[in-house]
Amino acid sequence: MPQRKPKVVITDYDFPSVSTEKAILEKAGADVIEGHCKTENDVIKVAFDADAIINQYVVITRGIIENLQNCRIIVHYGIGIDKVDVEAATEHGIYVANIPDYCVDEVSSHAMALILDCTRKIVFLNNALKRGQWDFKLAQPIRRISMLTLAIAGFGKIAGALAEKARGFGLRRILAHDPYVSPEAGKQFGVEMVDMTELLEEADILSIHLPLTKETKHMFGEKEFQMMKKSAIIINTSRGAVIDEVALIKALREGQLAGAGLDVFEKEPASFSNPLLRMENVVVTPHVAWYSEESFQDLQQTAAEEVARVLHGKIPNSLVNREVIEYGRSR
């Protein structure tokens, strides 16, 4: 009787194709199934007997995980792992892996672009000029960027890359807060590690680079905005729900904050009725900071390579739940 081929399910994707993944995984001896899943039941139906799952937008819930008979690894197309119930996967001995390096350059560059736009008010002036208004005074006040302090919340790889780029633009001071990063590590990037209170109080620009977890959801809300300068701007290229969006809208309307540059929203796609999309002191983009043609390729290739590693009996390079190793796998 012929040996059963490993089954890999790609639950959903918005790439032009998954030919890259298929080439890598078929070479590893696997059958690749494109699921086009939108719901929990969709995933269970197609992936209950899968040896591996790759997901993008559909949430891999505890209910799905409890119905997986053979799964050895779940790989998420991206850095954040809020789309996967990691605790449930760990309980069932399933590796969870992400792709942490594929868009470091893109996201840090996008954050820097939003910083430059919000401080120089480029989109605002562009829109005014196209309405027939030729007047620099419309954008007052604009501060010299070398007089401003950049504060970074969360200091992983993307934040480190942003700090290096910001130094090139001559920011007066770069601060960061991350309880998992030592002052010595921050110094390597020319960054001063501070507590959260100092970060908020000193920020002319606050750039957020945090994963979405139970601890970080709505980490920035009314209380935090009141601690900041009224001239401060906030930049978010991480996850929308890290900010209490209702509180942000209130702070911007009431002048508690001067502006914002947002690539992410609490609910995505963002509703066209969302007030943030209509505020002149807010620059928005549609969760695109990660994107370049090169990051597309890296994301798809690395996701498939992580699955192939596990199919060959190896441990993923970017393992999120190391407890699976420490406590022994159930599969």
Question: Within this chain, do residues 267 and 120 fall inside the same structural domain, yes or no?
Answer: yes
Question: Within this chain, do residues 111 and 243 fall inside the same structural domain, yes or no?
Answer: yes
Q: How confident is the model at residue 162, as a pLDDT? A: 98
In a domain, 271, yes or no: yes
Question: Within this chain, do residues 132 and 243 fall inside the same structural domain, yes or no?
Answer: yes
Question: Within this chain, do residues 115 and 51 fall inside the same structural domain, yes or no?
Answer: no
331 residues of the chain, pLDDT tens digit each: 567 899 999 999 999 999 999 999 999 999 999 999 999 999 999 999 999 999 999 999 999 999 999 999 999 999 999 999 999 999 999 999 999 999 999 999 999 999 999 999 999 999 999 999 999 999 999 999 999 999 999 999 999 999 999 999 999 999 999 999 999 999 999 999 999 999 999 999 999 999 999 999 999 999 999 999 999 999 999 999 999 999 999 999 999 999 999 999 999 999 999 999 999 999 999 999 999 999 999 999 999 999 999 999 999 999 999 999 876 554 4
Task: Give the structural domain span for 215.
Answer: 104-284
Question: Within this chain, do residues 14 and 109 fall inside the same structural domain, yes or no?
Answer: no
CATH number reported for the structural domain that contains residue 209 in this entry: 3.40.50.720
Question: Within this chain, do residues 54 and 183 fall inside the same structural domain, yes or no?
Answer: no
Question: Within this chain, do residues 60 and 173 fall inside the same structural domain, yes or no?
Answer: no
Question: Within this chain, do residues 127 and 238 fall inside the same structural domain, yes or no?
Answer: yes
Q: How confident is the model at residue 326, as a pLDDT? A: 76
Q: How confident is the model at residue 330, as a pLDDT? A: 46
Question: Within this chain, do residues 92 and 153 fall inside the same structural domain, yes or no?
Answer: no
Whether 268 is catalytic? yes
In a domain, 331, yes or no: no
**Half-sphere exposure in the Cβ direction for 68 (13 Å, CA):** 31
Catalytic residue among 66, 254, 268, 280: 268
In a domain, 91, yes or no: yes
Q: How confident is the model at residue 130, as a pLDDT? A: 97
Cα–Cα distance, 167 to 220 (Å, whole number) = 25
In a domain, 2, yes or no: no
Whether 218 is catalytic? no
In a domain, 184, yes or no: yes
Cα–Cα distance, 159 to 182 (Å, whole number) = 14
Q: Where are the beta strands (DSSP E) in 178-308?
A: 192-193, 205-208, 233-236, 259-262, 282-284
In a domain, 261, yes or no: yes
- Structural domains counted in the chain: 2
Which residues lie across from 31 on neighbouring strands? 7
How open is the CA angle 177-175-260, to the nearest 5 degrees?
90
Q: How confident is the model at residue 327, as a pLDDT? A: 66
Catalytic residue among 72, 76, 209, 239: 239
Whether 287 is catalytic? yes
End-to-end CA distance of the chain: 23
Kindly give, in sequence order, each residue whose CB lies less than 8 Å from that of residue 112, ignoring residues fewer than 6 positions away: 162, 165, 166, 169
Residue 12 contacts residue 5 (beta carbons within 8 Å): no
Q: Token pair of 99, please? A: 């792709």
Catalytic residue among 287, 309, 323, 331: 287
Question: Within this chain, do residues 150 and 230 fall inside the same structural domain, yes or no?
Answer: yes
Question: Within this chain, do residues 124 and 273 fall inside the same structural domain, yes or no?
Answer: yes
Q: Token pair of 154, please? A: 């969360």
Q: Which helix (H) or strand (E) holds 326?
A: helix 323-326
Question: Within this chain, do residues 60 and 110 fall inside the same structural domain, yes or no?
Answer: no
Phi/psi of residue 327, each to 5°?
-100, 0
Strand order in the sheet with 282-284: 192-193, 173-177, 149-153, 205-208, 233-236, 259-262, 282-284
In a domain, 28, yes or no: yes
In a domain, 112, yes or no: yes
